[in-house]
């Protein structure tokens, strides 16, 4: 019998994927003791292909965060350190544990989920490849929901090639997820090396933002030259509604989250507070004890924007913005095949640097959220180091269900960047 595609490959699984018989916490106290009786479709697909689970990885609580600092179990530390310094840096989030496991060579690959950048941003700041597939490409069944219309699982790997192999296995049409799409899953691996001669690459001008460090633009310009040198046609494009993406995202995602997280009430499973006198007391204590600050903040925002009298001004308007953003992309993709942008506005930052300022934390997703709002596929590929010696990524955004082209363009970046840097293994004591 021939070996399966992923025979014996050790993978880390973000602790948002339900794993049968293995505690699944979403990095929240409220699911501290939760052991699913079922396996998520995506992880099952991986096991069916022969992969083995080396462990569940930490994340921001319920995937809400961009630094992996909101986890109930404590922050994840980035294996990378700035040149000549010993400060602990964040690995990005929310899939910070998965990114770290791959970057530190604790696993060959990992699963992540990406709601506003949670695969691509940590991949970028830990020097690995992260792919967010088209919404509907991978089943959401068995993944603890954050924002259902945005959540999508994807691979986090050392190379673009590995991402292609892993995505092929993760993706499937799942009748148990009504939003999963019944479209053939191409053999991404065999489509990887076609080159990018004649590929039309759009450069969206709105992604040049004030206040980003110059090294971000410099890297982006290098990326343009790399692709041009390999025969791509570079086209300046405009996505005029980009500036509304982040505010719209921070309305839609919390709105859905406020509803998705209502089930954690202490009645059937998970944490249940003791000492409550009545039903309301049980709810209040359980949820007060069970959820961390960032999750509570988003539940409150989400509850607010859905409330009578505010729904039209916030939720409905954010949905309209979403339509406009999707239209921006659709228009642009009439003229080009993929878009090239930076993956993050900065390299990894210090643990604790942004925890008191949620808005500056939210700005980490400025280049990634548009893609989730439009449901498109995008990849972050390590492309160079910052002046401090920290990894930076470039992002390729593609048309819906055209992961093959996204991977091929990502491979072109990877080839040109020839990113060989690795973190010093400072965590090894011997």
Q: Which is nearer to other proteins, 94 or 344 (CB)?
A: 94
Residue 36 found at the interface with other proteins (CB under 8 A): yes
User: What's the helix, strand, coil split of the chain in %, to 5?
Assistant: 35, 15, 50
Please, what is the minimum distance in Å from the beta carbon of residue 148 to other proteins? 4
Please, what is the minimum distance in Å from the beta carbon of residue 125 to other proteins? 27
Q: Which is nearer to other proteins, 67 or 258 (CB)?
A: 258
Please, what is the minimum distance in Å from the beta carbon of residue 12 to other proteins? 18
Distance CA 92, CA 99 (A): 8
Looking at the DSSP bridge assignments, the partners of residue 380 are 130, 395
Give the binding range for other proteins (CB under 8 A) out of 17-25, 48-56, 186-194, 377-385: 17-25
Please, what is the minimum distance in Å from the beta carbon of residue 13 to other proteins? 13
CB under 8 Å to 24, separation ≥6 — which residues?
15, 16, 17, 18, 31, 34, 35, 36, 56, 144
The DSSP 8-state label assigned to residue 315 in this structure reads I
Q: Which of residues 272-331 bind other proteins (CB under 8 A)?
A: 279, 283, 303, 306-308, 311, 315
Tokens standing for 296?
């509570």
Distance CA 219, CA 307 (A): 43
Give the containing element (helix H, strand E) for 404: helix 403-417
The count of residues in the chain is: 430
> Which of these is catalytic: 66, 95, 98, 118?
118
Q: Is 118 a catalytic residue?
A: yes
Distance CA 11, CA 49 (A): 12
Closest among 117, 145, 125, 148 to 28, alpha carbons compared:
145
Q: What angle do CA 231, 381, 66 make, to 5 degrees?
A: 145
Distance CA 329, CA 371 (A): 9
Candidate residues 15, 69, 177, 215; the one interacting with other proteins per rule CB under 8 A: 177
Q: Which is nearer to other proteins, 206 or 310 (CB)?
A: 310
Please, what is the minimum distance in Å from the beta carbon of residue 41 to other proteins? 9
Please, what is the minimum distance in Å from the beta carbon of residue 300 to other proteins? 12
Residue 40 found at the interface with other proteins (CB under 8 A): yes
| Residue 137 dihedral angles phi and psi, to the nearest 5° | -70, -45
Please, what is the minimum distance in Å from the beta carbon of residue 268 to other proteins? 6
User: What is the DSSP annotation of 49-95?
Assistant: TT-EEEEEE--SGGG--SSS-S-TT-PPPPS---TT----B---SSS
Please, what is the minimum distance in Å from the beta carbon of residue 267 to other proteins? 5
Closest among 106, 91, 116, 223 to 158, alpha carbons compared:
106
- Measured between its terminal Cα atoms, the distance across the chain in Å is 41
CB-based contact 344:392 (threshold 8 Å): yes
Residue 31 found at the interface with other proteins (CB under 8 A): yes
| Residue 390 dihedral angles phi and psi, to the nearest 5° | -105, 145
CB-based contact 375:327 (threshold 8 Å): no
Q: Which of residues 218-257 bind other proteins (CB under 8 A)?
A: 255-256
Candidate residues 238, 259, 355, 415; the one interacting with other proteins per rule CB under 8 A: 259
Q: Is 71 a catalytic residue?
A: no
Tokens standing for 195?
């080159």
Give the binding range for other proteins (CB under 8 A) out of 81-89, 116-124, 190-198, 259-267: 259-267
Residue 142 found at the interface with other proteins (CB under 8 A): yes
Q: Which is nearer to other proteins, 236 or 278 (CB)?
A: 278
Candidate residues 8, 21, 23, 38; the one interacting with other proteins per rule CB under 8 A: 38
Please, what is the minimum distance in Å from the beta carbon of residue 113 to other proteins? 11
Residue 23 found at the interface with other proteins (CB under 8 A): no
Give the binding range for other proteins (CB under 8 A) out of 29-37, 83-91, 158-166, 185-193: 29-37
> Which of these is catalytic: 14, 56, 168, 399?
14
Residue 170 found at the interface with other proteins (CB under 8 A): no
Candidate residues 1, 37, 334, 420; the one interacting with other proteins per rule CB under 8 A: 37
- 194-220: buried (b, 16+ CB within 10 Å) or exposed (e) per residue? eebeebbbbbbebbeeeebeebbeebb
Residue 269 found at the interface with other proteins (CB under 8 A): yes
> Which of these is catalytic: 67, 94, 139, 180?
94
Residue 149 found at the interface with other proteins (CB under 8 A): yes
Residues with catalytic function = 14, 94, 118
List residues binding other proteins (CB under 8 A). Answer: 17-18, 24, 26, 31, 34, 36-38, 40, 140-145, 147-149, 175-179, 255-256, 258-259, 261-263, 265, 267-269, 279, 283, 303, 306-308, 311, 315
């Amino acid at each position: 019998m021939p070996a399966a595609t992923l025979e014996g490959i050790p993978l880390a699984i973000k602790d948002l994927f339900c794993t049968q018989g293995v505690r699944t916490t979403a990095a929240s106290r409220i699911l501290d003791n939760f052991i699913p009786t079922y396996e998520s479709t995506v992880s099952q697909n991986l096991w069916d292909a022969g992969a083995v689970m080396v462990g569940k990885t930490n994340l921001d609580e319920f995937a809400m965060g961009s630094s992996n600092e909101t986890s109930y179990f404590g922050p994840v530390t980035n294996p990378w350190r700035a040149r000549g310094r010993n400060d602990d840096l964040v690995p990005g989030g929310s899939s910070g544990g998965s990114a770290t496991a791959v970057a530190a060579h604790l696993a060959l690959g990992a699963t992540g989920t990406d709601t506003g950048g949670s695969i691509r941003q940590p991949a970028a700041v830990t020097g690995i490849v992260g792919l967010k597939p088209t919404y509907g490409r991978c089943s959401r069944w068995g993944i603890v929901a954050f924002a259902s219309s945005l959540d999508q699982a994807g691979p986090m790997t050392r190379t673009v090639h590995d991402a292609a192999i892993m995505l092929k296995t993760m993706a499937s049409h799942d009748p148990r997820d009504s939003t999963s799409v019944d479209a053939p899953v191409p053999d991404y691996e065999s489509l990887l090396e076609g080159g990018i001669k004649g590929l039309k690459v759009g450069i969206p001008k709105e992604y040049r933002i004030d206040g980003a460090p110059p090294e971000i633009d410099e890297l982006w310009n290098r990326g343009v030259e790399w692709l041009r040198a390999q025969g791509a046609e570079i086209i300046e494009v405009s996505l005029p509604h980009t500036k509304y993406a982040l505010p719209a995202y921070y309305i839609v995602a919390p709105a859905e989250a406020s509803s998705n997280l209502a089930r954690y009430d202490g009645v059937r499973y998970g944490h249940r507070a003791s000492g409550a006198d009545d039903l309301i007391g049980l709810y209040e204590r359980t949820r007060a004890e069970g959820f961390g600050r960032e999750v509570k903040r988003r539940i409150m925002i989400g509850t607010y924007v859905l409330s009578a009298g505010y729904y039209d001004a916030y939720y409905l308007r954010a949905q309209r913005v979403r339509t406009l953003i999707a239209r921006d992309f659709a228009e642009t993709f009439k003229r080009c095949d993929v878009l090239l942008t930076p993956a993050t506005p900065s390299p990894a930052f210090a643990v604790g640097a942004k925890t008191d300022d949620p808005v500056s934390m939210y700005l980490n997703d400025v280049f990634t959220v548009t893609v989730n709002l439009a449901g498109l596929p995008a990849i972050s590929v390590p492309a160079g180091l910052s002046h401090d010696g920290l990894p930076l990524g470039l992002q390729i955004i593609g048309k819906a269900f055209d992961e093959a082209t996204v991977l091929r363009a990502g491979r072109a970046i990877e080839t040109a960047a020839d990113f060989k840097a690795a973190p010093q293994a400072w965590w090894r004591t011997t």
